[in-house]
């Protein structure tokens, strides 16, 4: 039996993870903004489910909640940083407040959960952190500029921190799912659209999501199973790509990026100090 700490458990991957873990007999410390959303699971699983309200944009609450979970449960094997959402619109359509909240949730919130957990994980001799990112942490779609920025940012943070804490037997996995049949689209925050973008890639993306032509093939149930299975891998995979389309798009982007880098090799080498 393992003990897990998971943020953003009201729906989507967070809810599915919580359900599957409880079914198999693990303990879950589940956090979410509206704890009543888990009343059904609490009634069914009792002490195996520890529930606390948490908005990850409240840094003080993050530290208090993480500390209380470790104190109450004694040992936490896996921390799953899942709470996030997407701001959907062209870059100049979003308000300053919307941009700030996107970063406060997806970047600062995720960072503070990790920072709050690290001292506890060090003291207990190690653990695993799953940071839910996205295929959008390595590629980009129009109309998701701020969401992509947050995912690229958290991936850079995790890559660095993973090296810092490896001596303490703390391992990270960046989970990169492609589009899945969750309520992700329903949770999009959409600023008022500007007509000037109607006939641009931003407008095309908006229409694709509204008319259903953006095809979603990812099975969230299978993706969650892959997340759970990854915890049994040693060493931990730094990245876990989920979905055929995600794999295809990320691979194409990396191949193109490598080709562009190789084409600039002579320029790069030419800027060294003369020996």
Catalytic site residues?
133, 147, 151
User: What are the C-alpha distances in Å from 204 to residues 89, 141, 197, 201?
Assistant: 11, 11, 9, 5
Q: Which two tokens stand for residue 159?
A: 């890559």
User: What are the C-alpha distances in Å from 189 to residues 13, 124, 193?
Assistant: 19, 39, 12
Q: Which two tokens stand for residue 90?
A: 């062209």
Q: Which two tokens stand for residue 252?
A: 């194409």
How far is Cα 110 from Cα 156, in angstroms, rounded to an integer?
A: 12
How far is Cα 40 from Cα 116, in angstroms, rounded to an integer?
A: 29
How far is Cα 252 from Cα 260, in angstroms, rounded to an integer?
A: 12
Find the distance separating the first CA and the last CA of the chain, reported in whole Å.
59
How far is Cα 76 from Cα 166, in angstroms, rounded to an integer?
A: 17
Backbone angles phi, psi at 31, to 5 degrees: -120, 145
Q: Using an 8 Å Cβ cutoff, are 154 and 137 in contact?
A: yes
Q: Using an 8 Å Cβ cutoff, are 182 and 82 in contact?
A: no
What H or E segment, with its residue span, contains residue 164? helix 145-165
């Amino acid at each position: 039996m393992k003990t897990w700490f998971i943020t953003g458990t009201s729906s989507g991957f967070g809810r599915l993870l919580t359900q599957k873990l409880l079914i198999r007999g693990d303990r879950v410390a589940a956090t979410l903004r509206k704890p009543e959303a888990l009343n059904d699971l609490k009634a069914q699983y009792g002490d195996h489910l520890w529930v606390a309200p948490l908005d990850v944009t409240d840094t003080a609450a993050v530290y208090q909640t993480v500390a209380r979970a470790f104190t109450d449960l004694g040992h936490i094997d896996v921390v799953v940083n899942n709470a996030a959402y997407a701001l959907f619109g062209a870059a100049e359509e979003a308000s300053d407040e919307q941009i700030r909240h996107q970063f406060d949730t997806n970047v600062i919130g995720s960072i503070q959960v990790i920072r709050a957990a690290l001292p506890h994980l060090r003291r207990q001799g190690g653990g695993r952190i799953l940071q839910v990112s996205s295929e959008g942490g390595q590629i980009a779609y129009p109309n998701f500029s701020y969401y992509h920025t947050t995912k690229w940012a958290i991936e850079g943070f995790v890559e660095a921190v993973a090296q810092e804490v490896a001596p303490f037997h703390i391992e990270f996995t960046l989970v990169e799912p492609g589009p899945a049949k969750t309520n992700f689209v329903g949770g999009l925050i959409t600023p008022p659209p500007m007509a000037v973008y109607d006939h641009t890639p931003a407008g095309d993306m908006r229409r694709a999501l509204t008319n259903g032509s953006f095809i979603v093939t990812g099975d969230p149930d299978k993706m969650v199973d892959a997340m759970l299975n990854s915890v049994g891998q040693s060493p931990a995979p730094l990245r876990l790509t989920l979905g055929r389309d995600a794999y295809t798009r990320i691979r194409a982007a990396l191949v193109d990026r490598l080709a562009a880098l190789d084409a600039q090799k002579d320029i790069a080498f030419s800027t060294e100090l003369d020996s």
